[in-house]
Structure 1
């Protein structure tokens, strides 16, 4: 989701929006399988291939790309507000208002839609760390590196547990919508607070990159983008391949230390892969022409918060017992077809919104609540 300041669509840099649009595909591939009950139902070969792809490219890597772009958006916001003459106190207040409303939106997403939420985590992290948006580069790097070790260990622990017994949301789905509304609320505060730790490393690096306008002006940073893409994606593939082969059933760990080593390598290099993929999109943005698909994908990126929530709506409609209840009827591989279909539908809807001049309901709501109606009209007449 983008937290950038409001600008006209024509004034926006292409690369960050393309990255956000592509990121939504990875998120869909990561989330959709969580809503089916039996990961081994259906064609074994197709399931194994889907599990391999999910582990290698999506799990704990889509989120890290998301987090990096979140931090980048904060840097863009600060830069844009400073260019308009706002002082730091005003910018910090704006960020904290946004943070509070992100927490509210994330809470509603968890309660009403699905308990797989990153929005409130972003909000809480921003609420706590807003002063770091203007911290010195060295502080950003130190903070990110200090958080990287415990964040990786937390994710690795979750991965080791999942290796032993994969758990899906289907096991916790309530039979009625009323029960669903309250089921996730007791654990939401603690889970949200703990998850903030995993956001910090990518967020810090995203702020650092935004200061240098690496994705806003990728043509000025081609050597850096090439190195980052090659090195970080290479590291990610090497570090995540053992876990991907494990997920596909090609091999099994021989001991607990091996399980932990595989999990740590997978989740640590997920940060590298997420940032590497964002850099790769920056390279693509330099070469690609603004054709129909590129424009539509950028339109999706501009409305990433809306379509992140749109995905959650689709998961509820398709899989929950009080709706279509397909959680026992779709295979693991089948969820990939659904995820890709949802992403393509999102692109079409986002392009329609762009054509009619509508930014997106979630973006409009967040801006209105953050700026206030009068101020929001001043900074974003097109919203």
Structure 2
């Protein structure tokens, strides 16, 4: 038997592949665009045309599509970790313990994000999913494919139910936003999310399984690590997946912007299912598109590529930074701007926040600093 290895150090920043980190840097923009409008009371405040355009872009490109991209890259990173330890001679017992520690600390970090900052959290969901499904990082390819396909059904149904509920509320003149659930003071805010957090986190795990397992499968073939070897596959996935995603998500974007209306509940459900199901394809397709960009860039990285990669290497830190900014801007006990802007204005904030994150990440890279959240997670996981 192979004896368990002592804690294996994580991959250094200089040894990391370009495409996965570049994809994570771009992904943070989509997450910001998906989340920012959810914190205002009235998304139609301000210029009507700009608000309509913002809602259209959000529905078509970001909402329920940024998450699958995030999940796919999370699974890809798990697969990289497992393959790296296996190549160094680590046995499954030691790797399983590492994954268990990592998952538990992700749950803790996610819980803190939900309670202290904002209840838009995926970190704890990823941690719980990893805790339950860690053995799948070494499962056969067929197991990954079948598990992903089977869980895609309840995942899409759950997302579609949320979408239909949101459509019905908007049609009734009371759109669902985070603003209506914000507590008036900090103390109430700190306790408000605790009762519902366990159930919501557990239910949300089903939504991340399909993308996570596809990420593990892709990592085994080093599709993003060695994109040159997989260029034909990346081109096919990019064109087909993003094309199908745009077609499948367009009806929902038209509904949300008022360009099209329907009173039929079955039609609304069909639109929601198409929107959320093809969102998984779109998220993976965008990751594949970044792989093609990495091929084109080759080894000649310009300053923008370097900065975006630095952001991707610190994605957990800057994901949490977004939560800090949403809390600071919109909650009643902070700046309380929830009633002062519409969708277009929040889009401007999201883009500005992402641009500042790029600059901060590049400054941290030049200064030789990893992201504080990444450093904390590594120390806790690797002891």
Quickly name the TM-score band, shorter chain normalised: over 0.9
**Whole-Å separation in 2 of the counterparts to 1:80 and 1:318:** 41
**Residue matched to 1:172:** 181
Moved more, 160-169 or 14-23: 160-169
| Deviation (angstroms), 1:5 | 6.8
Partners of 1:126 and 1:177 in 2: CA distance? 32
Partner of 1:381: none
Alignment of 1:365-376 (within 5 A): 365-372=376-383
Query: Higher mean Cα deviation, 301-310 or 322-331?
Result: 322-331
1:250 partnered with 2:259: yes
Q: 1:184 aligns with which of 182, 193, 197?
A: 193
Distance 2:320 2:190 in 1: 16
* CA shift for structure 1 position 43: 1.2
Q: Is the 8 A contact 2:28 2:354 kept in 1?
A: yes
Out of 23, 33, 38, the residue aligned to residue 29 of structure 1 is 33
1:326-368, Cα deviation, whole Å (9 max, x unpaired):
1111111100000000000000010011011111100000000
Is the contact between residue 176 and residue 321 of structure 1 (CA under 8 Å) also seen in structure 2?
A: yes
Q: d(CA) in 1 for partners of 2:76 and 2:311?
A: 17
**Which residue of 2 is the match for residue 376 of structure 1?**
none
Task: Look up the match of 1:152.
Answer: 156
Counterpart contact for 1:5–1:76, Cα < 8 Å? no
* Alignment correspondent of 2:217: 208
TM-score using structure 2 length: 0.95
Q: 1:92 aligns with which of 92, 96, 102?
A: 96
**Which whole-Å deviations, capped at 9, do the CAs of 1:267-286 have from their partners, x for residues lacking one?**
00000000000000000011
Please tell me whether residue 224 in structure 1 is matched to residue 228 in structure 2: no
Q: Provide TM-score, normalisation by structure 1.
A: 0.95
Q: How many positions carry a matched residue from both structures?
A: 369
Deviations 1:122-178 (A, max 9, x none): 000000000000000000000000000110000000000011113111001111111
Matched, 1:303 2:314: yes
Partner Cα separation in structure 1 for residue 190 and residue 363 of structure 2: 32
- Within 5 A, what are the aligned runs for 1:73-112? 73-112=77-116
Q: Is the 8 A contact 1:5 1:81 kept in 2?
A: no
Q: List alignment gaps of at least 5 residues for structure 1.
A: 373-383
The separation in 2 between residues aligned to 1:96 and 1:146, in whole angstroms, is 24
* Kept after mapping to 2: 8 A contact 1:125/1:200: yes
**Cα offset, 1:39, TM superposition:** 1.3
1:42 Cα offset (Å): 1.3
Where does 1:258-297 land on structure 2 (aligned, <5 Å)? 258-288=267-297, 289-297=300-308
Q: Distance in 1 between matches of 2:148 and 2:134?
A: 14
Aligned mate of 2:131, from 120, 127, 132: 127
Map of 1:342 onto structure 2: 353
**Structure 2 contact 43–341 (Cα < 8 Å) conserved:** no
CA apart distance, 1:86: 1.1
C-alpha root-mean-square deviation of aligned residues, in Å?
1.0
Distance 1:7 1:217 in 2: 16
Asked whether the 8 Å contact 1:56–1:240 carries over to 2, the reply is yes
Superimposed CA distance per residue, residues 85-108 of structure 1 (whole angstroms, 9 cap, x where no aligned partner):
211111111011000000000000
In the alignment, which residue of structure 2 is the partner of 1:352? 363
Cα separation, 1, equivalents of 2:136 and 2:149: 14
Where do 4+ consecutive residues of structure 1 move more than 2 Å? none
